[in-house]
């Protein structure tokens, strides 16, 4: 039964729907994988096998009674431990929230349960989703970082403990760990997925994202999460896109791709530069190199302003009641955020709007951008979560991004190709990402 743990989410859903396997069998296989690998990986902040088994039995009872099967029927999912769960603690990666039981599900957890998913456990986050690492190790090499802040979510998928996981990104916290751990990471358009019941850092930047083994699996779970929530002002009262349908459809024509080095190119490792340039060249006429206008050079300062000011606001209570329990880096970030004035904050928002408009003009001539997901392979050592610089620009602009585990570095560790789409065109981006993944796999 251990091979069941290796099924993709879509393959598992098909077998569950057909009655070839039960939710209980699938859950037991995943719990077995967790028991085998969790001691060395440390992906979970909380795990209760009894809860998971009970949820699986309920799913099987529904099936036996002939009730309509829902989109995520019987699929086990790990949820980042800054996302509230009524039946599990949510401790936000800090001793200041030790033993915290919110009692109410976050909106996305409610949606997961409504879609038939089994919340198998809470995945490790860095301290308050910033930079101080948790206990998680990279499943590809336990002496390397898994990235952050969604470290446990990425590692749980990479280790085969779950087929799907949920994380968040304020800088690079989905794209970077997905690249380091060699899985698919999808950060949708800002505001597509609501954040009610999630520990925020900076509202203009915070975005819920997902981890999966394939692009279509990422689309499957994102479909269940997206849509308007009146409690989150950044969501919109519009019908969400049909992401899975789009990801499963073949592209009507060869996508037009732009290879963008970004202002952070000098921070990429030599092997990454060579691999990305080679990848772009292998795409032939489907890909052309495009330089971003000079105005993009100011993105890092704008991102820093919005992030630190947001942290000073959203983490003020932690700072007041327990600043001595915060890491030096987090405490310094909150203090720096307190010094940011309204004029600078508003200027950062203006620059964000200007950059988004520039990207809209770029996307007139291309369907997606390809760029590094991270500077290189996951760094050795566990004291840092690595550099998120290649994800931050796209987070600032609120555009959707997918990282595909298509390249390998000099040590054989994964390096992600980041594929970036136009704001609001998540469905088209996922279709392009699947085309890239299939095309490269066949040719590579």
Here the CATH number for the domain that contains residue 154 is: 3.90.1300.10
Domain-embedded: residue 345: no
Residue 129 Cα distances to 83, 143, 153, 173, 378, angstroms: 11, 21, 12, 8, 19
- List strands edge to edge, sheet with 414-420: 44-47, 118-123, 76-80, 164-169, 207-212, 184-187, 401-408, 414-420, 368-372, 257-259, 287-289
From 22, 150, 153, 173, active-site residue: 173
For residue 403, tell me if it sits in a domain.
no
The pLDDT value recorded for residue 252 is 85
Over its length of 444 residues, how does the chain's per-residue pLDDT go in tens digits? 459 999 999 999 999 999 999 999 999 999 999 999 999 999 999 999 999 999 999 999 999 999 999 999 999 999 999 999 999 999 999 999 999 999 999 999 999 999 999 999 999 999 999 999 999 999 999 999 999 999 999 999 999 999 999 999 999 999 999 999 999 999 999 999 999 999 999 999 999 999 999 999 999 999 999 999 999 999 999 999 999 999 999 988 999 999 999 999 999 999 999 999 999 999 999 999 999 999 999 999 999 999 999 999 999 999 999 999 999 999 999 999 999 999 999 999 999 999 999 999 999 999 999 999 999 999 999 999 999 999 999 999 999 999 999 999 999 999 999 999 999 999 999 999 999 999 887 554
- Which pair of tokens denotes residue 92? 């936000």
Count the domains in the chain: 1
Q: Is residue 210 part of a domain?
A: yes
Cα pseudo-dihedral 218, 24, 111, 427, rounded to 10? 20
| Whether 149 is catalytic | yes
Catalytic residue among 22, 122, 149, 150: 149
Q: What is the pLDDT of residue 440?
A: 83
The answer to whether the beta carbons of residues 85 and 109 sit under 8 Å apart is yes
Measured CA to CA, the distance from residue 362 to residue 351 in angstroms comes to: 17
What percentage of the chain's residues is helix, strand, coil (to nearest 5)? 45, 15, 40
Any domain includes 174? yes
In a domain, 59, yes or no: yes
9 occurs within a structural domain: yes
Which of 20, 122, 28, 123 lies closest to 63 in space, CA to CA? 20
Of 80, 151, 179, 437, the catalytic one is: 80
List the structure tokens of 348.
């950062």
The domain in which residue 232 lies consists of 2-248
Look at residue 277 and tell me if it is in a domain: no
State the CB neighbour count (10 A cutoff) for residue 206. 24
How far, rounded to the nearest angstrom, does the alpha carbon of residue 90 sit from its chain's CA centroid?
Answer: 18
pLDDT in the model for residue 1:
43
How many Å apart are CA 194 and CA 396, to the nearest integer?
17
- As given in the structure block, the two tokens for residue 202 are 């900076």
Q: Distance between CA 92 and CA 327 in Å, rounded?
A: 14
189 and 423 Cβ atoms separated by less than 8 Å: yes
Q: Is residue 146 part of a domain?
A: yes
pLDDT tens track for 115-133: 999 999 999 999 999 999 9
* Strand residues in 313-400 grouped as ranges (E): 368-372
Q: Which helix (H) or strand (E) holds 427?
A: helix 426-443
């Amino acid at each position: 039964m251990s091979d069941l743990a290796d099924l993709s989410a879509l393959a598992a859903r098909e077998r569950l729907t057909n009655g070839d396997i039960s939710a209980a069998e699938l859950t037991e296989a995943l719990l077995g994988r967790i028991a085998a690998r969790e001691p060395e990986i440390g992906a979970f902040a909380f795990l209760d096998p009894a809860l998971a088994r009970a949820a699986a039995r309920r799913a099987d009872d529904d099936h036996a009674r002939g009730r309509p099967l829902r989109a995520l029927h019987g699929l086990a999912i790990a949820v980042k431990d800054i996302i509230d769960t009524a039946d599990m603690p949510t401790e936000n990666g800090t001793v200041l929230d030790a033993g915290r039981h919110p009692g109410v599900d976050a909106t996305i957890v409610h949606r997961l349960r409504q879609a038939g998913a089994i919340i198998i456990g809470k995945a490790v986050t860095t301290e308050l989703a910033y930079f101080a690492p948790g206990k998680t190790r990279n499943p590809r090499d336990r002496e390397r970082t898994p990235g952050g802040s969604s470290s446990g979510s990425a590692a749980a998928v990479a280790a085969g403990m779950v087929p799907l996981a949920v994380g968040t990104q304020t800088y690079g916290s989905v794209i970077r760990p997905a690249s380091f751990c060699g899985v698919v990471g999808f950060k949708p358009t800002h505001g597509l997925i609501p954040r009610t019941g999630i520990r925020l850092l900076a509202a203009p930047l915070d975005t819920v994202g997902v981890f999966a083994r394939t692009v279509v699996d990422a689309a499957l779970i994102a479909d269940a999460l997206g849509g308007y929530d009146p409690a989150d002002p950044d969501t919109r009262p519009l019908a969400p896109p049909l992401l899975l349908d789009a990801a499963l459809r073949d592209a009507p024509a060869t996508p037009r791709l732009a290879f963008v080095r970004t202002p952070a190119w000098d921070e990429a490792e030599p092997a990454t530069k060579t691999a990305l340039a080679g990848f772009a060249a292998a795409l032939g006429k489907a890909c052309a190199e495009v330089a971003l206008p000079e105005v993009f050079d100011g993105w890092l300062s704008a991102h820093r302003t919005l992030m630190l000011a947001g942290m000073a606001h959203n983490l003020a209570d932690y700072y007041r009641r327990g600043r001595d329990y915060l890491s030096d880096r987090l405490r310094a970030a909150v203090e720096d955020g307190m010094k940011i004035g309204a004029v600078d904050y508003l200027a950062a928002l203006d620059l964000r709007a200007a950059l988004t408009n520039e990207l809209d003009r770029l996307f007139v001539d291309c369907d997606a951008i390809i760029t590094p997901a991270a500077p290189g392979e996951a760094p050795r050592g566990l004291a840092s979560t690595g550099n998120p610089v290649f994800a931050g620009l796209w987070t600032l602009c609120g555009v959707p991004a997918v990282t595909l585990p298509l390249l390998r570095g000099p040590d054989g560790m994964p390096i992600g190709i980041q594929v970036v789409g136009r704001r609001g065109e998540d469905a088209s981006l996922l279709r392009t990402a699947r085309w890239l993944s299939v095309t490269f796999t066949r040719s590579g």
